[in-house]
Structure 1
Amino acid sequence: MPSSRLSTKGQIVIPLEIREWLGLRPGDRIDFVVDDAGSVRLRPALLDVRELRGSFAEPGRRSISVEEMNEAAAGGAAGRVGIP
């Protein structure tokens, strides 16, 4: 079983065989998932876009289209289309 040691700065090195198994590359983000029994799982931080559904809705605020988002991003005018 691969193992690693925690540094004084709270850092660990993920063993090569684990990085390869997970397909991790430098700069990748990692999720640490703790279950009810206290076990911790390590997984690449991949987000299925379907998980975002409804997470940005604010009561009383209108939705904006992708086109409006693109225009705001291109023009640096986020506040003009209702994006905080």
Structure 2
Amino acid sequence: MLATLTSKGQITLPKEIRDRLGLDAGSMLDFQILEDNTITARQVLPDARRIRGLLKSPHATPLTVEQMDEAVSKHLRNKNAPAHGGRNTGGR
């Protein structure tokens, strides 16, 4: 089976491989390069330790709508702020 590497370094696994391994979008693969430059790939099964800390404690105080609004506003301000270190346009 052949697959073509894109300019972004991506490949599409042939359907036969995806079906045989039961891979879906979002499946993770672990690649190994052997001494003879053979590449192997195996599916990494979900592990509860990978998501540790993603969820807050059920005892934590929920955020208010105002706190959520402020967090979104701060994120957008930071995202849209001009980059520092550019050309100096003032003073002449």
TM-score by length of 1: 0.53
TM-score by length of 2: 0.49
Aligned to 2:25: 26
- Following superposition, the deviation at residue 29 of structure 1 comes to 0.6
CA displacement, residues 21-77 of structure 1 (integer Å, 9 cap, x when unaligned): 11101111111111122110121113789xx9xxxxxxxxxxxxxxxx89xx5157x
CA RMSD of aligned residues (A): 3.0
Moved over 2 A (4+): 46-49
Specify every segment of 5 or more residues in structure 2 that has no aligned partner in the other structure, as ranges.
61-92
1:56-71 alignment, distance < 5 Å: none
Aligned to 2:15: 16
Aligned to 2:42: 43
Q: What amino acid sits opposite 1:11 in the alignment?
A: Q
SS for the counterpart of 1:17 is: helix
Tell which structure's C-alpha radius of gyration is larger. Answer: 2
Cα 1:39–1:11 change in 2 (3 A) is same
Name the stretch that deviates more: 34-43 or 7-16: 34-43
Q: Identity rate of aligned residues, in percent?
A: 33
